[in-house]
Structure 1
Amino acid sequence: MDQPNYITPAGYAALKARYDNLLGAERPRIVEIVSWAAGNGDRSENGDYLYGRKRMREIDRDLNRLARKMKAARVIDPAAQQDKTRVWFGATVEIADDDDNRRTLTLVGDDEQDAGAGRIGWNAPFARALRGAAVGDVRNVQLPGGEKQWEVMAIRYPG
């Protein structure tokens, strides 16, 4: 990876909880089903066995993916941000366009983004345009419908 994989403490906890659930609960349950199904004879027509093996491969892929993400993660606590007058990782930013349409966005790690909830990934074009902005700054953002200007109205950090 050429860039650090920033993540909030809550985002890291969610990744770890998902990993722990897969490893400690879901995978052992599937292993038990596969073991039981394997003892039932012909495996080629045994739906429980075939589905269980397929599901186990999916879980193992997810576990590997989550382990790589957690290893590459660099946990940053937004409340500990030094310069709270500018938009940096973890900031909640209120922005307005030329028609005074306002949006509130929080810059989070790419693994915890959720556009519907107003959480955008640190490396998203919108977040890159807002990085380092102060209240009153106008930034151009390239959107699918063309370029649009947004003014930073407020910046908040947790804590």
Structure 2
Amino acid sequence: MTRKLLTAEGYAKLKDELEYLVRKHRPEITEIVSWAASLGDRSENADYQYNKRKLREIDRRIRHLTKLFEVAEMVEYSPVQEGKVYFGAWCELENDDGKIVRFRIVGDEEIFGNNDYISLKSPMAKACLGKTVDDEITVHTPSGEVHWHVVKIGYNIESQPDSDTNSN
């Protein structure tokens, strides 16, 4: 695995997930598997088979997160970033038709389950990096070039899409 960038919030969330899996969820499932195994014939025991599969999934996720934290780099906000789009920024863009998109640029591991997060490696994020408010960006898509204008940039919770603040 190569170096993986995570926002401070993403790092904490994944650490919490790992802690939960190791300390609470895995022991609970292990206990159920032990109980189901004690009932006898495992080949026709649905509780045993289902929870054994679930235990393998948990172990796979624990291994993944453990390896991730060996190469993860937490990127925290710096005041130097203010006014420009960098990793961790909340961005609001508008096209010539008035369509508005809002998203946060994060690492690959943080986008799952977050519809308003995009990967740092995505074409949209790459086009936005280093831009300021009122800059125009061009995104190359399969259907051609799309032009957007940067409307808002922010780095804190108040900068999320439902907020009315302009920056910071």
**Structure 2-normalised TM-score?**
0.82
* Structure-2 change in CA distance of 1:129 and 1:37 (3 Å): same
The answer to whether the aligner puts 1:108 opposite 2:140 as a matched pair is: no
2:85 to 74, 84, 87: 87
- Give the letter for the 1:101 counterpart: K
- Please give the per-residue CA displacement for 1:12-31, whole angstroms capped at 9, x wherever unaligned: 11111111111111111111
1:18 corresponds to which residue? 17
In the TM superposition, what are the counterparts of 1:1-159 in structure 2 within 5 Å?
Answer: 1-2=1-2, 4-78=3-77, 80-113=78-111, 117-158=115-156
Contact 1:114–1:120 under 8 Å retained in 2: no
Deviating 4+ runs (over 6 angstroms): none
Q: What's the offset of the Cα at 1:116?
A: 6.2
Q: Percent identity?
A: 38
CA distance in 1, matches of 2:20, 2:27: 10
CA distance in 1, matches of 2:148, 2:103: 12
CA distance in 2, matches of 1:22, 1:144: 40
SS of 1:54's equivalent?
helix
Unaligned runs of 5+ in 1: none
**Structure 1-normalised TM-score?**
0.86
Cα RMSD (Å)? 2.0
